[in-house]
Amino acid sequence: MDDKENLPILSNSVEQVTADLHRHYNFTLGRFDSDDMNGYMMTALALTIRDRLMDRWRITKLRGSRHNVRKVMYLSLEFLLGRSLSNAILNLDMEESIRGALADFGSKLEEIESDEKDAGLGNGGLGRLAACFMDSCATLGLPVIGYGIRYEYGMFHQSFQEGRQVEQPDHWLIGGNPWEIERPGHTRRVRFYGKTEYYNNDSGRLCARWINTQDVLAVPYDMPIPGYKNDKVNTLRLWKAAATDEFNLQEFNAGDYADAVAEKNLAEQITMVLYPNDSSENGKELRLRQQYFLASASLQDVIADWVMLNGEEFNDFDQFNCFQLNDTHPTLAVAELMRLLIDDHGIGWDEAWRITTRTMAYTNHTLLPEALEKWPVRLFRELLPRLLDIVFEINARFIAEVAHRWPGDTQRQQRMSIIEEGDEQYVRMAYLAIVGSFSVNGVAALHSQLLTTGLFKDFYELWPDKFNNKTNGVTPRRWLSHCNPNLGSLLNEAIGDGWRTDLTELEKLRPLADDTEFQKRWFDVKQRNKLPLIERVKDKCRVDFSVDSLFDVQVKRIHEYKRQLLNILHVIHLYDRITRGDTEGLVPRSVLLGGKAAPGYALAKLIIKLANNVATVVNSDETVSPWLKLAFLPNYRVTSMEVICPGTDLSEQISTAGKEASGTGNMKFMMNGALTIGTYDGANIEILDAVGADNFFLFGLRVEDIPSFRMQHDANAIIAEDHDLNRVMQLLECGHFNMFEPGIFDPIIQTVRNPQDQWMVAADFRSFIDAQQDVNVAYKNRSRWVRSSILNTAASAQFSSDRTIAEYARDIWKLPL
Ligand code: 26W
């Protein structure tokens, strides 16, 4: 076996790369001329790089599939990969040879890279985190396999019509995906509907089987995940749904051949589209089907490999396998593993439960009650009858355990039950995940603490040792090396290049923070990084940002708790000051917003409309525009952030305290030298601790202040007493930003004035404005600002996903590093 692991790896010489590029362009793709070259060139280049991944991939797989290697499966409904080309070039260290080869075609690497579509198989933070984790696992050489869904349509494309969001389908696979390898030989069969039948097996034991099912095939497509310059390539396996061949035989026989074939669509619908909700569950059956499809196909895949190596001996399955559940979305894996072990492999309940609860681990990503998944029992029973039996049995045994621990406390039993009772019964997915897992983690210190004192308090009392924190991180390869080459070169000159794999090396910047010469070079890099961002904003928004202004940026999904509205109120306040001639102490600012609203979230969409209307008024007023510009960048995605974060001065992380589980954009900005204006929430707290209060603009209520503040204050009184806020509300209420669209912003005005406003917009306004004033003061003192910027990058090491993954490996996965 060993010599197979040392096959020659293809050469990276310019000559060899040029030859491969020609071969793929002319032969693989059948291109004879150079018209319309770029799209094809991108594919040819991807295939040339993929060739070099293949040997490394095969060897990594070979080593990972030996019977004595413990491995982890990262189960996620979302992997927000963005582009792969530039990442692969960086990780394989191929830039020089590729530039050389492309020169032969008269092509530029940057142009070719821009032809690659984003793989937008995720909504936002949770999906992008999964992608950063995959990069870190490969770079740390850990045997971690990603399992997800190959959505035909990813996150929708956003554009604006009269300032309103318009959604268009994202058919990202059109033109082909050069990275994926279809593996039909590993197809699995996933069952739906039907019913449970009980029977006595040969030894007279009562057994269950799931019969009369309607089956769907799961076909895997593998994407290579290269580690950084370490010859490791991990696998992301994405499942596509396909119809079985025995579909609708009756119709076939009745002569309805065409209709029967058309019915294939029903099966194939499962993987057609990513649900674009990132904070509220809409209870659609198709979503439940997606979840089961992923869980079942992935578990069957792992078990098939296990049986091949170990036969029907599952005793130490848990010693070699661990499943990390990315939020509750893949939680059916708990019940599905029970079903596979019991029904298909003849294992008894107790042993199956021991194995399951030692292999599953669950990560929670949100405290918002409306985002907690629960499925109607009625729907569950129809779609997955055998799984529901198992969930009921898990719950019965669990409730017995609770009753044993707290005798007579029936209220607690009801509170903790996996089944929510009421007019309609529901399965509470988070509770199923907790009961079925040996580890439950939150994604930042505050968030993990709020889980144990709030949402999951009862469970924490029962099993304190299950709960732990793993603060999120982001990959420094994409979010520093790749996206900010200007800063990368400066870092290399100043502290050497060890930071690329060991981000703690950035600490070496600290002594340079006061060096005037170094400050000047740092500032120059930031100014240079603003230029491509200025270009993009001009191209997409028709707004001119000045390179000499402060770049103030908030990009993320649009949600009330993230408070884009508070940001807009600040812009209106600045507009009001400037039009009154009160520019004392101001610095010229360019405010950039970006992000998608869930298509069904009316208020979030209205916030986009408001931002666009305010932008039109602000940008067209000649007295205002030297001081203030506002732009809303359409179709914000991974690739946009790669241009945005290097050029940003000020990062807006202004969620209502206790609502943002972690945030990861905050980390990308910090790493690239932006200062944060933020609330005491999520990972902001850890960023503040790392960088120090002098280098962070903290404002707003804290979680513990909110309940008592609510009792004593109401939004209307706050507005009446705050002169500035009062003027802002007047501008909104008199229709200044919607002259020809009377009343359209009333719902927004009502939320700000609502005494029950959950998001505390009016309550935090004054504190926010004051912190923004501190920003102005700080930015005027260039040396002070640049010093802070350097210190932010210097302190960002702990927000590398390499650190996060090392902690998962050590504490949860028990993988040797
Ligand atoms: C069921 C609908 C749905 C879909 C997605 C509900 C909730 C989600 C996600 C949990 C939302 C999400 O992306 N959460 C974000 O996860 C990031 C990674 O941990 C955190 O940094 C963000 O704070 C958190 O909002």
**Residue identifier of the C-alpha nearest atom 6 of ligand 1:** 279
- What's the pLDDT at 9? 80
> What pLDDT, on the 0 to 100 scale, is given for residue 385?
98
Report angle CA 156, 529, 527 to the nearest 5 degrees.
140
The one-letter amino acid code at 738 reads N
Known catalytic residue at 354: no
pLDDT score for 247: 62
SS (H, E, C) 304-349: HHHHHHHCCCCCCHHHHEEEEEECCCCCHHHHHHHHHHHHHCCCCH
Atom 13 of ligand 1, nearest CA residue: 126
Residues sharing a CB contact under 8 Å with residue 463, sequence separation 6 or more, in sequence order: 434
Mean pLDDT of 47-56: 96
Contact by Cβ (8 Å): 667, 647: no
Ligand 1 atom with the shortest distance to the CA of 663? 21
Q: Compute the mean pLDDT over every residue in the chain, rounded to the nearest whole number.
A: 96
Domain 68-83+118-471+806-813 and domain 476-799, same fold? Reply is yes
Nearest to 299 by CA among 257, 272, 339, 269: 339
Range list of H helices, 237-331: 249-253, 257-262, 264-268, 285-310, 317-320
Atom 4, ligand 1: residue with shortest CA distance: 278
pLDDT for 656-666, tens place per residue? Answer: 999 999 999 99
| CATH number among 3.90.850.10, 3.10.129.10, 3.30.310.80, 3.40.50.2000, domain 68-83+118-471+806-813 | 3.40.50.2000
**Options 287, 339, 559, 668, the catalytic residue:** 668
For residue 331, with 0-12 CB atoms within 10 Å meaning exposed, 13-18 middle and 19 or more buried, which class applies? buried
CA of 565 to the centre of ligand 1 (A): 20
For ligand 1, residues with CB inside 6 Å are: 123-126, 129, 277-279, 281, 327, 365-366, 371, 373, 443, 472, 660-664, 682
CA atoms of 128 and 135, how far apart (whole Å): 11
Known active-site residue 570: no
From the candidates 24, 150, 237, 365, which is the catalytic residue?
365
Spatial contact of 544 and 587, defined as CB atoms under 8 Å apart: no
Q: What distance in Å separates the CA atoms of residue 621 and residue 722, rounded to the nearest whole number?
A: 26
Structural domain spans, the chain: 1-67+87-116, 68-83+118-471+806-813, 476-799
CA-nearest residue for atom 1, ligand 1, is 281
Using the mean position of ligand 1's atoms as its centre, give its distance from the Cα of residue 751 in Å.
23
Average pLDDT over residues 413-417: 98
pLDDT at position 245: 81
Using most ligand atoms within 8 A of CB, pick from 151, 365, 662 the residue to mutate for ligand 1: 365
Nearest-CA residue for ligand 1 atom 16 is: 126
**Ligand 1 midpoint to CA 278 (Å):** 6
The string of pLDDT tens digits covering residues 730-765 is: 999 999 999 999 999 999 999 999 999 999 999 999
d(CA 411, CA 403): 10
Residue 482 designated active-site? no
Please tell me the distance between residue 675's alpha carbon and the centre of ligand 1 in angstroms.
24
What pLDDT digit, counting tens, does each position of 664-675 carry? 999 999 999 999
CA–CA dist 386, 293 (Å, integer): 15
Candidate from 2-16, 435-449, 636-650, 711-725 with smallest mean pLDDT: 2-16
Per-residue DSSP letters for 118-139? PEEES-SHHHHHHHHHHHHHHH
Tokens of 806: 């090392």
562 annotated active-site? yes
Which of 24, 52, 289, 556 does the annotation list as catalytic?
556
Closest protein CA for atom 5 of ligand 1: 278
The CATH H-level (homologous superfamily) assignment of domain 476-799 is Glycogen Phosphorylase B; (3.40.50.2000)
pLDDT at 1 over 60: no
- pLDDT of amino acid 2: 47
Q: Where are the beta strands (DSSP E) in 449-588?
A: 467-469, 550-555
The tokens for 346 are 């003849």
Share of the chain above pLDDT 70, in %: 98
